[in-house]
Structure formats: structure tokens, C-alpha cells
Amino acid sequence: MTAVSKKKLREVALSEEEYKRVVELLDRQPNDVELGMIGVLWSEHCSYKTSRPLLRRLPSSGSRVLQGPGENAGAIDVGEGWAAVFKIESHNHPSAIEPYQGAATGVGGILRDVAAMGARPVAVLDSLRFGPLPESRRLFDGVVSGIGGYGNCVGVPTVGGEVYFEPAYAGNPIVNAMCLGLVPAARLRKARAEGVGNLLLLAGADTGRDGIHGASFASLELDDSSEERRPAVQVGNPFLEKCLIEALQELAESTAVIGIQDLGAAGLTSAVAEAASKAGSGALVDVAEVPRREQGMSPYEVMLSESQERMLLIVKRGRQAEVQKVLERWDLHSAVIGMVTGDGHLDVVEGREQVARLPVDVLTSLCPTRTLEAKPPDHSRYRLDLTEIREEPADPPATLLRLLAHPNLCSRRPILRQYDHMVGNATVVRPGGDAAMIRINGTQLGIAMTTDGSGRYCELDPYLGAQIAIAEAARNIAATGARPVAITDCLNFGSPDKPDVYWQLEETISGMANACRALDLPIVSGNVSLYNDTDGRSIYPTPVIGMVGVIDDYSKRLEAGFKEDGDFVLLVGVTANDLGGSHYLEVEHGVFAGRPPEVDLLQERAVLEFILATAAAGLLRSAHDVAEGGMLVALAECCLLSEKGMRGPPLSTGGDLRFDALLFGETQGRFVVSLPSRSMPEIQNLARKHRIEIQMLGMTGGDQLEFEGQFKVSLEEMKRAHQGGLG
Amino acid sequence: MVNYLATVVVTLKQVVNDPQGLTVRSGLRQLGFEEVDEVRVGKHIEVRLSAENEKAARARVSEMCRKLLANHVIEDVRFQVEQQDAQVGASR
Amino acid sequence: MKFGVVVFPGTWSDRDCGQVIEQVLGAEVRFLWHKDRDLQGCDCVILPGGFSYGDHLRCGALARFSPVMESVVTFAEHGGLVWGICNGFQVLCETGLLPGALIRNDVCEFRCEPVHLFVERADLIYTANLDRGAVLEVPISHGEGNYFADAATLSQIEQNGQVVFRYCQPDGLVVPAANPNGSLHNIAGIVNEAGNVLGMMPHPERCAEAELGGEDGLKLFNSVLDSMREVLVAS
């Protein structure tokens, strides 16, 4: 092997072994353009070379699945002929460098993934992690306004999300965006470059030098030189994207369009290779035909540019004019840049000159996977002996107020009001409770959506943490009365080259696979973001679960807040001494340690079925998942959402249950629900039938959260604490 | 015809509240630039055009400002016109 | 009675307005493409919310020059009903059909939340079914909804009684704390002197169904429908 310098390999982020493999596969040395194309498609970001072998463990099929992983987005059948198309994606690295544009283009990319499936995007959700405030203020503000800025302009509501602040994310924030779209199932599109002679039509923005090598950049750790190596951070143009989405909607029924592929990471190279690979075809691209924003771009730059707001359409030969007419109506540029071929190669030419010729499978399926060394990290610093901690909080009302003011638990209103969450006239459950819900106009169908990550728990135990993320997401969906049906996931991890991170990745995926099977939830799309490290420190292992649920009749939907005075309030599920990793331990004792709560998946499933049965029977007035902060925080949230208090007899602990665990422990598989007294007999029947424990906590009404003679805090105090938490 | 570059600066009128300017001012002060009295945020627009002479160019740019580039209810506008070297930027 | 809803590139409330008019109100709707001049015989033209032309340069600045707006201006000058909502209000101010301008929210952030509106005028076609002093709950969704006019214009508007809606508390009190964006005199919506051109920042089409959180917006649509029925029957 000769002729290639280490410097050049570093530039394209290929190892020497990988280079050798390239030469073997090609039976020759690649030229510079080819090397660049392979480098970027073999990057972790594009190839999933490290995670792919592990991802195979995740279930991806089910009776509702119309499209599993491998396309621009996954799709499920939600009934009445409709398909819901959805995917979540990370934009962590770009957001670390330019928070507004990084987050905005993250939203732009995920909208295009969904639009490329033929769907109209109808909802966006986010999942965010930053270092603590106030140090992370600039990143946090920039990311939130970037997400809002893009979604608001495009006119797709941002209906939900989550945000956490932990020191582990200082310097390497997590910015995940999920989009859900709707399309009649019969009109689902695929990214297939089918039919030799059909044309490749590039539509949307002109191509500039932005983001060249963004994909390989995203596969490297951030350090001081990142500023310089910054691959010209892309600037989003949501206006153009809006026009692109509308034009694709107009083309929804056109048989002239064979396939659609979004241009994302690795630009044209990836889009064309993917579309050809899925169709088992080949493609010819003439870079001279690509409309450009800048002069003097080399073929290499054109093929690797990550300019935003571009879409590749595979169009039936001879019918390009009718497609271009629709694009022109929306003032969108488009150009035929090549055609589908049959020889399994991607040919790149510039006019008459051949620039590159690579077998499509070398770019895609033949990328070698990597199996790395896994070793559990040393967890001695997280050891927790509960017997050393007193069982009674010193001042429970004060502790509750501190928890409500905690940046991880406080009101999200300062964020949510920057997002248009109503455009589309479909948001029937607004953000701020458990899951959000949109209706499908013209039907009674409701689609519930949530994002849930569990970095804290996963740091302590990735297997359990991953199960908790899925269980919590499922509870959030069920709390609206919708049945959880499918998942899109985003796995945010540090460098897998570190054995402990690779171990975390393995454990997380095993935990997820297990929970998915137990709860019958296929994963239909997803994204992996590795190398989330700063100065050698990795973020918490952070799987983010985007879950979708369906309710046949959204008039039966539930919300988290209490509804009427004089309703009974029940705790559903069993409480144990689950204080490990809790926010209570952190706030009251300054400790982040222990083992996360166990997840009894059979019990979890039973509780979900119980909630769905009671909701479907119209027995409940509200339902809310008990999660971080425990039962008292959940009750306080029900009060705050409704501006209603509740009052009950003093709480008692039975058996060996600790008082602090009862109030603030984070045991899984629990809900707080409210219901009219007349529902009680039927609820008790159903609880017996599903073998679920229910416990009467009290009755709604008044302006305090009170357990007589034991605990009392006013709505006003709770509101003040809750609203001020984000500063 | 001669090539000109018009540099148009659009600012909010003095009577119009400029919250962006106020935010930038407080940011600068927090960074220790205590001498900052006022900040006004505006727009800088570059227009390349050709015209018979500078007077004609100025007349056209003035009309552009009136019709589109500024909203005279809230904005003030000023511009400069300078001659560009011939044929710079001719492409292809 | 036929409503027209103008579609600029970047408009997004067009579909919501259309859904309310057709499915909730049960009236006829035509979508009017920005490149066309024909208003298709519509009795009321709505300029809906969105980011027309990306709101580049200034909100509404470029929409003003589209072919459809030539017809809308003529239509308004002849007494036709023109109703600008959010971005549509911004377009009407840029066009000069309404006085003043909408600038960036004083909080420097986008705001999407319900607000309360004090109804100052109940004698308009748009508000005929309301009482003066009524309080409506309607959501806003904008980054630049801060109403501004110079002192002379403002006093003129007030003297003429052109203010239709002001931001208020739920109890109807018009106070600075109820102002979400810094608008002068808490102005949320104004009408031209003739009373046929209305501009408002809040989105009545988003609260026309109880399922979506309220029906106060429907009262405005119904006012137009009922008033126009009378007009059309009378003529």
C-alpha cells in the first residue's frame, strides 16, 4: 500500500485498516474524490459501523409497521387508511458550535426526512440536555430559539419535548429533534432510484460549500481546534423548506415521481448512493449540472456539500417537465443532475470527464463494522447505603418546593411559549403534561407523542435506565388514553472507543430490546450519535425514546391536570424504596448515587392496560405518570396544571416502606389519576381484574396540596417555585 | 453604463423602541463595556446596480428605499453609492 | 357567502382558516394564490398568518408587492371586507391599508400563548355578534406583533375609534401586565376608518372549536357570516 499519507486519511477520517479494505474492495487505489466520498460514507455518522451490529438486537417489526428502519423515516398504520411517519435525529455537534443554527437545521433535516416519505409533517418534538444554568444559558437560549425559529416559520407545531440540565452535558449538549408526519398509507413514498434511465432531479436550495465533512466532523470528539475545523456551519432557510414541503405535497399523487431522498449528512454522495443501494441499481451524476451558490466549486465539494433544504427526486424519464412545473410554481430551482443506471456503480462525471466510479455497495453495505472492547466502568463513586440516610425529610413542604424549582422539574412554559404548538388546528392535548396529542382532521383518530430520555439513570445503570426510558414514555402516552404503538430512538453516547462507553451502549441496547419486546413496541426508525465527549469526558449514556401512540376516539383523551372539584385522587401501582438516582437525594442530601428503580415489565404492562381500560371506559377525569421527583411532585403538577388543590388523610407507610421513598421516591409503574366518585366501583373491579394496586390519596379542591395534620403547601407557593426554575 | 455599489443602512427611528438594541447594550455592559450609552440595531443592505451616472444611481436607490427597503413608519434609511471597478464579478 | 384565503409562499394559517370556514362554519372558501389577480367573487378576503416570503427584509414587506395584493387593495378601496390575521395584519400595515407598523416583541422572543382581548368595537361586521366590553380568549403566535404608530397617528386612531381589540386581563382590565409584546396602548387589532379592513395579531381561527381550547374565535367568523347574509339578502 502506498500513495496515501496519514494526513490525508485523517482529513477523511479513515483508519489505515479501513483504507486497506477500500483498496481490497476496489482492487485499486481510490482517487481523491473517491476517497473523500468513501471517508464520509464510512464515517460513524453515516455508516453506523460501531452501532450497527448492536442495533440488530432491537425489534423492528409488528402488525402496525409499514416501514421499519432503513428509509428516510419509519411508518406505522394508525387506522382509517392513515400512516404516521416519524423519526428522531441528533444535531448535537453543530449545536455545540452554533446553537441557533445547529438546532434550527436539526429541525430542518428531520422535517425533510418525513416529507421525503410523502407525508405532511404535522408535529415536532425535541429532547435537550445542557450543562447547568446559568453557565449554559447561551447554548440553551440559542437552541430553544433555533428550534422555535425553524418550526414556527415552516408552520409545523412543536408540540412537546423535554430538557435536562446536568454537569455531564456541559460543553456537549444534546439536541435531538423528532418529527411526525401524516400520509394516506397508500401514498407512502420510498427513496428508491428505480428504473434504468429515470432521472435524478435535485430540487430546492442551490449547492454551496457549507458543511463539507460535517458527517465526519460529527464523528470526532470536540476540542479546541473544532472552532477552526468548523465545517462552515449550515444556515437554515425555513422559508425555502416550507415551499419544498408544499411542492412535495402537491406531487403526492404524481406517478412521475418514483422516489424521494432527503439530502442530509454527506449530501449528494449519501443521497444518491442510498437511493441506488435500496433499489439495487446504480447512478450517474454530472456535477456540472448541479446548480451552485458559489463559484469555483470542485466536484469533490459538490458531492460532499451539506447545503440544507435540498431534496433528490427520482423522476420518470420524459416526465420531468410536469414535476418541474410544480416546483417552479413554488419558485423552487431544480435541475436534472443525472440518471439511474443498472450496473451497480455510482459514476460521477463533470461534463465529459469521469471524476469517480465506485461500486454502490462499497459506499453503503460493505462498510466494515467494528466490534469493540466492552468493560463496565468503575461505579464505586455511585455506591449508596440507604441505611445511612435518615428516612424523614426535615421539612417535606420545603423539599417539595425545592424539587418543583429544580431546573429538571420546573415549568417548561418559558420554552413552550416560544414554540408555536397550535398551528395546524390539530393539537388536542397541548404540551406541558405527559404526552401531546394531535387529531387527524376529518377522523376521530388521535396520535399521542412524547420524547423521554434517561441519562441520569443510564449513568448509574444503562440496562435499567434504558428500560425506564421506554417504560416512562409508554406511561406518558397511556396517560392520554392512547395505546403506545411504536418507537423512534436516538442513542447519544460518548466515544465508543472507550471500553466503558461501548459497554454502556451494549447494555442500553439490551435493556431497550428487552423492554420493547415486553411491551410490544417495535422501533421503526432511529439515529445514533457517538463521540459526545469534551476534553476526554463523555456525556451520560442518553438513549432518547420518541414514542407514538394511537387513540381511536380522541374525545376520550385524558390530560394530566385535575379537572373537577370533589373528584377522588388515586395512586395506581406499588411504591418501593426506590431512591437511587432520584432528584430527592440530590436536592435533600446532595447525593447522586445508587441503583435506579427496577422495572418489572410484566407489572408495567399490566398498569398500562389498566389505565387504557379505565380511560376507554370513560371512568377517569385525569391521569398523570409518576416520574422524576416522585408522587408528591406528580400530585403538585396535577394541581398546577389545573390550578386546583387536593386534600387527603395523612399518608402512612406500610411494611418496610420509607417515608421519603413514599413522598419522593421514583418507583416505576405508577400513575396518579382523578375520577368522579361514581367511577369507584368500576375502577375497583378493573383493578382486581388487572391485579393492580390502587390507593385512595384524597379529593380534589381548595387551594392547597394537603395531607391533614402532616403536610400542607399552598398552590401559590408551588406556582412561584415551579415558574421560576429556569431563571 | 457604470457599475455602482450602494450601501444602504436601515435603522429604527429614534422614537421607536429597539428591544434588540437594549439587549445588546445590557450584554455589552455585562461584559464590562460600561462606557456604552446606547446601541441601535439596524440592517445593512448591499445593492449592486448599473446606471448612467452616480446621480441616476442615487435616484434609483432612493426609490428602492422608499418602495421596499425601509418602512418609513418605523425606520430611517441612509445610503452611500460608490463606483465599482468595471467588470468585477463577471462570471463564466 | 364566500371567503377567500390568500396563499403567499410561506403562509401557514391558510389551511387552518380554510378548515374553520368549511368544517366549522359551513361556509364556502376559495384559496387565492399570490400570483393570481382574480379574487373569484369572494365576499371577504382573509390574509392569514405565516411567514410570507420568509418575512425577509420585514414582515409582510414582500407580500405587499404580489399580484394578488393589487386586487386586494382595489377590493378594499371599494369597501370589500379584508381581514388580516397575524402576518396578514403586518401585510396590511406595509400596504398602507392600515396605519402603523408591527415591530419585534419587546420581550425579543416569539410568543405562542392565549391572551385576552377587550372588545372596543361591536358595531363592525367582524364583531357584530359581540358586545362592546366583551372579553375574548384568543391565542397569539408571533415574534413581531408589537404595534407601533407615531404619536399623531396614534391619537388619530384613538380619536376615530379605530382600535377594535386591546390586550387585557381575563377580567377585562387593560393594563401593561396584560400586554404580551409591547404594543402601544395594548393594541391587538385595528380597523380602517371605513370599517371594512381589519387587522389583528391574535389567531381567531385557532379557537373556533372547544376541542382545540375555545370557541371565542368562532364568534368573529360567525359575525361576518351573519352580517354578510343580511347584506347579501338585502341587496
Instruction: Tally the residues of chain A.
Output: 727
Chain B neighbours, 3+ Cβ pairs < 8 A = C
- State how beta strands A704-707 and A646-648 pair: parallel
Contact flag B19-C101 (C-beta cutoff 8 Å): no
Render pLDDT for A2-47 as a digit per residue (tens, 0 to 9): 567 888 888 888 889 999 999 999 999 999 899 999 999 998 888 8
Q: Tell me what pLDDT residue B86 has.
A: 57
Q: Residue C146: its chain B contacts at CB < 8 A?
A: 17
Render pLDDT for A467-501 as a digit per residue (tens, 0 to 9): 999 999 999 999 999 999 999 999 999 999 999 99
At residue C235 the predicted structure's pLDDT band, cuts being 50, 70 and 90, is low
Contact flag C93-B16 (C-beta cutoff 8 Å): no
Asked if B73 has any chain C CB less than 8 Å from its own CB, the reply is yes
Out of C62, C101, C106, closest to residue B17 by CB: C106
Mean pLDDT of C117-137: 97
Residue B6 domain-assigned (yes or no):
yes
The cell 366518585 sits on which residue?
A: A677
Contact flag C103-B12 (C-beta cutoff 8 Å): yes
CATH for C2-234 is 3.40.50.880
Contact flag C58-B71 (C-beta cutoff 8 Å): yes
The cell 395534620 sits on which residue?
A: A709
- State how beta strands C2-7 and C28-33 pair: parallel
Q: Which domain holds residue B66?
A: 2-15+42-83
Q: Where are the domains of chain C?
A: 2-234
Chain C positions contacting chain B at CB under 8 Å are 57-58, 61-62, 65, 93-94, 99-101, 103-108, 146, 148-151, 182
Mean pLDDT of A73-98: 96
Residue in chain B lying closest to C102 (CA): B74
Residue in chain C lying closest to A147 (CA): C110
Contact flag C182-B12 (C-beta cutoff 8 Å): no
More confident site: A234 or A257: A257
Render pLDDT for C37-88 as a digit per residue (tens, 0 to 9): 999 999 999 999 999 999 888 898 889 889 999 999 999 999 999 999 999 9
Residue B20 domain-assigned (yes or no):
no
Task: Report the CATH number at residue B48.
Answer: 3.30.1280.10
At residue B88 the predicted structure's pLDDT band, cuts being 50, 70 and 90, is very low
Crossing angle for the helix pair A396-405 and A630-642, to the nearest 10 degrees: 70
More confident site: C154 or A4: C154
C168 is catalytic: no
DSSP-assigned letters across all residues of A407-422: TTTS--HHHHTTS---
Mean pLDDT of A207-217: 69
CA–CA distance, C20 with A564 (Å, rounded to integer): 29
Q: Residue C212: its chain A contacts at CB < 8 A?
A: 422, 425, 427-428
Mean pLDDT of A653-673: 95
In the predicted model, is pLDDT for residue A431 greater than 50? yes
Render pLDDT for C201-220 as a digit per residue (tens, 0 to 9): 999 999 999 999 899 999 99
Q: Residue B40: its chain C contacts at CB < 8 A?
A: none
SS3 content of chain C, % helix, strand, coil (to 5): 35, 25, 40
How many folded domains does chain B comprise?
A: 1
Out of A417, A428, A555, closest to residue C111 by CB: A417
Crossing angle for the helix pair A680-690 and A601-616, to the nearest 10 degrees: 150
Residue B75 domain-assigned (yes or no):
yes
At residue A295 the predicted structure's pLDDT band, cuts being 50, 70 and 90, is confident
At residue B14 the predicted structure's pLDDT band, cuts being 50, 70 and 90, is confident
Residue B25 domain-assigned (yes or no):
no
pTM of structure: 0.94
Q: In the B/C pair of chains, how many CB contacts fall below 8 A?
A: 39
* C-alpha atoms less than 13 angstroms from C-alpha of A155 in its C-beta half-sphere: 27
In the predicted model, is pLDDT for residue A218 greater than 80? no
CA distance A155 to chain C (A): 5
Q: Tell me what pLDDT residue A232 has.
A: 60
Render pLDDT for B31-73 as a digit per residue (tens, 0 to 9): 889 999 989 889 999 999 999 999 999 999 999 999 899 998 8
Mean pLDDT of B1-16: 92
Render pLDDT for A47-83 as a digit per residue (tens, 0 to 9): 899 999 999 999 999 999 999 998 999 999 999 999 9
Q: Tell me what pLDDT residue B89 has.
A: 43
Contact flag A425-C212 (C-beta cutoff 8 Å): yes
Out of C11, C19, C112, closest to residue A420 by CB: C112
Burial of A629 (0-12, 13-18, 19+ CB in 10 A): buried
Q: What percent of chain A has pLDDT over 90?
A: 87
Q: What percent of chain A has pLDDT over 70?
A: 97
Asked if A354 has any chain C CB less than 8 Å from its own CB, the reply is no
**Residue among A481, A476, A477, A433 at smallest CA distance from A641:** A433
| Residues of A carrying an active site annotation | 45, 91
In the predicted model, is pLDDT for residue A131 greater than 60? yes
Residue B90 domain-assigned (yes or no):
no
Out of B15, B19, B74, closest to residue C101 by CB: B74
Render pLDDT for A344-373 as a digit per residue (tens, 0 to 9): 999 999 999 999 999 999 999 899 998 899
Q: In the A/C pair of chains, how many CB contacts fall below 8 A?
A: 88
CA–CA distance, A192 with C23 (Å, rounded to integer): 38
In the predicted model, is pLDDT for residue A214 greater than 60? no
